[in-house]
Amino acid sequence: MGNESSKTKSFGDNARKLIGKSGPSTSTVNKHLEMASKSRILQLKGTGLKSVPEEITSLAEVLRNLELSENKIREIPPFIGLFTQLKQLHLSNNCLESLPDEIGSMKKLEILNLGGNKLRNIPVTIAACTDLRTVDLSNNQFSVFPIELVSCLHLDLLNLNGNQIETLPDEIADLKAIELSLNQNRLHSLNAENLSKSKTLRTLRLDENCLEKSEFTRQLLEFSTINTFSSDGNRFQHKDFQDLPGYDAYQERFTATKRKM
């Protein structure tokens, strides 16, 4: 108990050091740091931060949820790797252009929210985050599918909406996600031969891309595990999709899924 009390006191002492560099008032920072020591959730969303305060490393062994969305952060420092107990990291709507390799040290991370930044790639070390279930990389600047994520074994959702991806790589065959969302990209190729080999994919969202109906091959429609396609706003009409070879098999999977809901 005494140790926790001394840590809480140090948060107040250190808070003053943050102000000139990061933006929020002393009282705001101090309040959030003190609350986080008890709740294990550090809430600094929309507080005007321009950098990640090093003082939060005092909570590295305590925090489970770090919320830094809607700030002006341009860089994630290497000390982020100290947060080995963290389960949720929220950094949406900042100014990030890259991530440090140390992010791979956060092996208990389950939710990674990086939407609305300027990312073009992610470190290969992300593959070490084997507990990841939700990854949001929407509205960034990816022109190539981030193959580093195909090694994540438990993904429920990989959100890549609003990027500039044109085609899917051969490694898509090894994707373990249940849902893959690629709305509002520049896709003209699905690499159906390999996409159909994914053993876990159930939902594929492809609205507002540049796809021809020929990309939805018989192999993809009939033999894949995908039971929900979303493909509005491409270079074909929905009625054309219904006429494709293999559509009946897909429709059976789709209907069976709806019955279970």
Compute the average pLDDT of residues 137-155: 96
Q: Is residue 9 part of a domain?
A: no
175 confidence band (pLDDT: 50, 70, 90) = very high
Q: Is residue 53 part of a domain?
A: yes
- Give the global pTM: 0.89
pLDDT > 70? residue 259: yes
Q: Is residue 13 part of a domain?
A: no
Question: Under a CB-based contact definition with an 8 Å cutoff, are residues 44 and 65 in contact?
Answer: no
Q: Is residue 5 part of a domain?
A: no
User: What is the model's pLDDT at position 132?
Assistant: 98
Number of folded domains that form the chain: 1
**Cα–Cα distance between 237 and 213 in angstroms, integer?**
8
User: What is the model's pLDDT at position 176?
Assistant: 94
22 confidence band (pLDDT: 50, 70, 90) = very low
pLDDT > 80? residue 63: yes
26 confidence band (pLDDT: 50, 70, 90) = low
pLDDT > 50? residue 10: no
User: What is the model's pLDDT at position 23?
Assistant: 62
- Write out pLDDT tens, residues 76-126: 999 999 999 999 999 999 999 999 999 999 999 999 999 999 999 999 999
Which residues span the domain enclosing 161? Answer: 40-260
Compute the average pLDDT of residues 181-191: 99
Q: Is residue 80 part of a domain?
A: yes
- 87: domain CATH number? 3.80.10.10
**Cα–Cα distance between 17 and 36 in angstroms, integer?**
18
Q: Is residue 65 part of a domain?
A: yes
Q: Is residue 16 part of a domain?
A: no
User: What is the model's pLDDT at position 2?
Assistant: 44
**Cα–Cα distance between 34 and 59 in angstroms, integer?**
10
Degrees, nearest 5: CA angle 107-56-45: 90
- Write out pLDDT tens, residues 223-249: 999 999 999 999 999 899 999 999 999
